[in-house]
Amino acid sequence: MPRTVCIAIVMLLAATVGQAALPPGVPYPANLGKYYTAYPAPISFLTYLDSIFKCQGEFALCAYATCVTIPKSNPPVAECGCYSFNGPSLGAGTGVLNKQIKANMLSTCLGSVKCTTLLQNRTEFCRRMNDKTMYPRGLATGQADLNPKICRGGTATNCFAAACCRGPPSSRFLPPGTPQYNATCYCPYFTTDQPFFMSSSKYACGPKNAAEIIPGRTLIYNGA
Ligand SMILES: *[C@@H]1O[C@H](CO)[C@@H](O)[C@H](O)[C@H]1NC(C)=O
Ligand SMILES: *[C@@H]1O[C@H](CO)[C@@H](O)[C@H](O)[C@H]1NC(C)=O
């Protein structure tokens, strides 16, 4: 039986990756609501700067993700093509999508730099990400704003700390010419009329009216 290993990673730079074949009982994407108990995370990553932590290991980077919304997902989640890397990644307690782990990370990391220094790679999120126990067979993600732009409203994913798997997205909805992604993340998405950052200036800000999103069809990109 194929074993799936997924990882979870953190925010400013990464998401996590796992293996593609899903064993029986793997809850995502359908049951992500069971794990994303802290949904919705705050949109602006500026609110994340007070609880940063650093991990070392496999993670997924979704700054250049192309995503397709998953019909009837709850919370609303998009399947995103991302990249997996091995190395340092950054996350923030504020953006963690699981209530209990978020509370733990905030109590450890809030208002201090120790989660990027003394406790680097040793906090619960990092441990779970490296053990692949952050999500069932899952990776986690972080993301980067390398060449961001400001959107004045729109629809975007927030991939910080999302669950990911190693391997390209299965979506048959991604158009030809989509980059050769090697990680797949299940990222919550939002529609807002408030300003937010888009990971890269080359991406569209997405529909400002949620009714314009065609599930499984409309392409959206990663913001925060
Ligand atoms: C980070 O933690 C993981 C799991 O404990 C370990 O395998 C890895 O070597 C650590 N990395 C560093 C740089 O300490
Ligand atoms: C995933 O793709 C990126 C970009 O091509 C590459 O740099 C990275 O090494 C790949 N990751 C793995 C685990 O092969």
Residue 136 has what pLDDT?
A: 54
Residue 61 three-state SS:
strand
Cα 177 to averaged position of ligand 2 atoms, centre (Å): 17
Atom of ligand 2 nearest to the CA of 181: 2
Cα 88 to averaged position of ligand 1 atoms, centre (Å): 10
Residue 141 has what pLDDT?
A: 56
The protein residue whose alpha carbon is closest to atom 13 in ligand 1 is 56
Residue 93 has what pLDDT?
A: 93
108: nearest Cα among 89, 132, 127, 133: 127
Of all ligands present, the nearest one to the C-alpha of 16 is 2
Spatial distance between the Cα atoms of 197 and 30, rounded to a whole number of angstroms: 28
Residue 176 has what pLDDT?
A: 79
Whether the per-residue pLDDT at 221 is higher than 50: the answer is yes
Residue 172 has what pLDDT?
A: 64
pLDDT bracket for residue 144 (50, 70, 90): low
pLDDT, tens digit (0-9, with 9 covering 90-100), for 11-70: 333 444 433 333 333 334 667 888 899 999 888 777 888 999 999 998 888 888 999 888
Please tell me which residue, 39 or 168, carries the higher pLDDT value. Answer: 39
Residue 16 three-state SS:
coil
Q: What is the mean pLDDT of residues 132-137?
A: 70
Atom of ligand 2 nearest to the CA of 17: 13
Cα 84 to averaged position of ligand 2 atoms, centre (Å): 6
The protein residue whose alpha carbon is closest to atom 9 in ligand 2 is 85
Neighbours of 194 (CB within 10 A): 11
Atom of ligand 2 nearest to the CA of 183: 1
Tokens matching residue 134: 């952050």
The protein residue whose alpha carbon is closest to atom 11 in ligand 1 is 56
Neighbours of 182 (CB within 10 A): 16
Atom of ligand 1 nearest to the CA of 130: 4
Measuring from each residue's beta carbon to the nearest atom of ligand 1, which residues come in under 6 Å?
56-57, 121, 130
Residue 45 has what pLDDT?
A: 73
